[in-house]
A and B are shown apart, each in its own frame.
Chain A
Amino acid sequence: MDWGNIFGNAVGEIISPTTAAYALAAIGLGIHFGYTGLLNFGQAAFLLIGAYAFAIPTLAGAPLIVAVLSAIICSVIFAFILGIPTLRLRADYLAIVTIAAAEVVRYIVTTTGLTDFTGAANGLSGFKGTFAAINPIPEGRYGFGPFTYNEYDWWIRIVGWALVVLASVLVFLLMRSPWGRVVKGIREDEDAVRSLGKNVYSYKMQALVLGGVMGSVAGIIFILPRAVQPANYTTGLTFFIWTIMLLGGAATIFGPIVGSMIFWVVLSLTQGILYGAIESGALSFISTTQAGQIRFILVGVALMLLVIFRPQGIFGNKKELSFSV
């Protein structure tokens, strides 16, 4: 088994754009669930909307800034469409309706009737040009050891993590403010907050939009190193983002970032070790495809154990951050 390679790949996941994208999506979900108490099970839809609303205009020739604005605006609109009927509902209804809405958008981009726009099940590709064009890094390979990438890969990483930092600072500033106090109050008991004269509906909407926009920007980072594939946006994606958020701690600043790093490093490690074991004949009775499946069995089990035994996550304060309901 090539342990050097296995660890190299795993360590590389720490700063990979995918890790950044999941971290950003989890920060957004943290605003929804961790701070405001909204059971959003449709975060995948925000990533989907970010991806398509960025890729479609870009492929139609729009400049980068227009494509990014399109992604943000579309996610704001989607947040409103999602929020207007659901934010008045009981928490568990909200969970079911958000998950349903996320599936609806996925069915819509996958339908063959829209192949001209969305590429249906094949998705979209070839939209990286505008982003690569503003890359200030000269061509070449940089870095050391497992962190050696070409100029485009560095560019995505730098932009992706810069956005993650920006989002974290934003969350920090908001959550120490009276605004943050109101949304945390809503998480605890929205009727109490209502009785104190706060427009709960409006605050929930603001939180939904804010976290949704973060999800949508995460959707852009997520597709920059790959193609847009509708199959990526199933409820599974939402659940992984939940796992990451809970892993780090739902209402913490660094939780989503560290959660995402741990999630991807562990996935990469298990994959490397399983593949290595299969190649070396130690695990001859399973195939490499099955090895990939074992990882997700582990994700499921880990999610259960985490929520049962350490619901506040790694960074969470036991008192403040366990579940209220």
Chain B
Amino acid sequence: MSNISEPAVVATHPLVKGEVGPGCAKTDPIVIADHVTRQFGGLKAVDVDHLEIPRGQITALIGPNGAGKTTMFNLLTGFDKPNTGTWEFDGKSLAGVPAFKVARAGMVRTFQLTKSLGRLSVLQNMLLGATGQKGEGLFSALFKPLWRKQEEENTARADDLLARFKLDAKREDYAASLSGGQRKLLEMARALMSKPELIMLDEPMAGVNPALTQSLLGHIKNLKSDGTSVLFVEHDMHMVMHISDWVIVMAEGRVVAEGPPESVMKDPAVIDAYLGAHHDEDLGDLMEDGPNPVLEAERKAREAHPEVDEGPGYGETTTPPAAERER
């Protein structure tokens, strides 16, 4: 969080092999995608030539609404099929691999519109996340002694995670009774039950109670120290600035810029992405007081297309107040 006011252009970076720029190669990538395109009718929702996601880092994927971030998530995790493209995870090609195998390979995602399992208890939701359960086989399921011990271990781990996400009081409640923000938390905690190598969070903070966001940021940082790679989509630029090691910017399906958070915000391509082309405003300094053009443009975009990002479960505020950004 230093040197913010220095000139924007950074040519090299320790995470990057060669020069920093959209689609640049990483020194230690966990995901490498090539020529991934996805067309919806006449609209090219995703058109990514090359993209690498660094291992062991927190990477933010940002971009205006409709940029194709969620679609890219869907493609990478096997929930949607691309028109063209290949990608690999941990050196293993995942193109055409069904979603559940992608998750088993260690790449687990959450959804922008939460998918909590309403008529299961919070604890059952969590237990579902655990992998390699013996009791999930049709025949072993009939004999409890075969899976009792494993179930107890998983329950202990689930309780631990629930406590960390401040959901332990809701342990026995139906997930349907949770607030929108709590569901987001549950979904993230559930994904963590499977001990993923790369966790992909689609707008994890949207709708989460502002009082909780700070501790959530802490969780995400902890994930990194545990060696998990994180890729997350977020609209809150403060959060992006705060925790990410690397930022990738998408617009109209393409990767238009990437770089460390301090410099990428000053990249003209990013301002283009949010404001459209043909601007010649001064970008200002993100960390100074006063309106930030990126944040402003982002806010306007959200107001213009409210239906895109607001799923049915979103009961709480979508934009956490821009407080507490510097300690």
- Chain A in direct contact with chain B (Cβ < 8 angstroms): yes
A residues touching B (Cβ–Cβ < 8 Å)? Answer: 170, 173-174, 176-182, 184-185, 187-189, 191-200, 206, 210, 319-321, 324
User: Can you name 19 extra interface pairs (CB under 8 A) apart from A181-B127, A319-B119?
Assistant: A173-B144, A178-B133, A178-B135, A184-B120, A185-B117, A185-B125, A189-B117, A192-B111, A192-B187, A193-B117, A193-B128, A194-B100, A194-B103, A195-B111, A197-B104, A320-B119, A320-B174, A321-B119, A324-B119
**Are B100 and A198 touching (Cβ within 8 A)?**
yes
When distances are taken between beta carbons in the complex, the residues of chain A under 8 Å from B144 are 173, 176-177
Is B322's CB within 8 Å of the partner chain A? Answer: no
**Are B115 and A179 touching (Cβ within 8 A)?**
no
Closest 4 CB pairs of A and B: A178-B135, A179-B141, A192-B115, A177-B141
**Are A188 and B117 touching (Cβ within 8 A)?**
yes
Pairs across A and B, CB under 8 Å, 15 listed: A174-B138, A177-B144, A179-B141, A180-B141, A182-B136, A188-B120, A189-B117, A196-B108, A196-B190, A197-B131, A199-B98, A199-B100, A319-B119, A319-B176, A324-B119
**Are A181 and B110 touching (Cβ within 8 A)?**
no
With A187-B119, A189-B115, A197-B108 as contacts: A179 and B138 at CB distance below 8 Å: yes
Q: Bound complex: CA of A197 vs CA of B137, how far in Å? A: 14
With A184-B120, A185-B128 as contacts: A174 and B79 at CB distance below 8 Å: no
Q: Bound complex: CA of A200 vs CA of B104, how far in Å? A: 13
B70, chain A: closest CB distance, angstroms: 13
Q: Which of A191, A206, A321: most chain B CB closer than 10 A?
A: A191
Q: Bound complex: CA of A191 vs CA of B128, how far in Å? A: 13
Q: Bound complex: CA of A146 vs CA of B79, how far in Å? A: 59
A203, chain B: closest CB distance, angstroms: 8
Is B62's CB within 8 Å of the partner chain A? Answer: no
When distances are taken between beta carbons in the complex, the residues of chain A under 8 Å from B99 are 191, 194-195
**Are B104 and A177 touching (Cβ within 8 A)?**
no
**Are A170 and B111 touching (Cβ within 8 A)?**
no
Q: Bound complex: CA of A170 vs CA of B124, how far in Å? A: 21
B contacts with A: majority SS: helix
When distances are taken between beta carbons in the complex, the residues of chain B under 8 Å from A198 are 100, 128, 136
Q: Bound complex: CA of A121 vs CA of B187, how far in Å? A: 54
When distances are taken between beta carbons in the complex, the residues of chain B under 8 Å from A200 are 100
Is B309's CB within 8 Å of the partner chain A? Answer: no
**Are A179 and B135 touching (Cβ within 8 A)?**
yes
**Are B194 and A197 touching (Cβ within 8 A)?**
yes
0/1 string, B184-198, CB within 8 A of A gives 1: 000100110110000
When distances are taken between beta carbons in the complex, the residues of chain B under 8 Å from A182 are 128, 136
0/1 string, B118-130, CB within 8 A of A gives 1: 1110001101110
Is B65's CB within 8 Å of the partner chain A? Answer: no
Is B156's CB within 8 Å of the partner chain A? Answer: no
**Are A178 and B136 touching (Cβ within 8 A)?**
yes
**Are A196 and B136 touching (Cβ within 8 A)?**
no
**Are B100 and A185 touching (Cβ within 8 A)?**
no
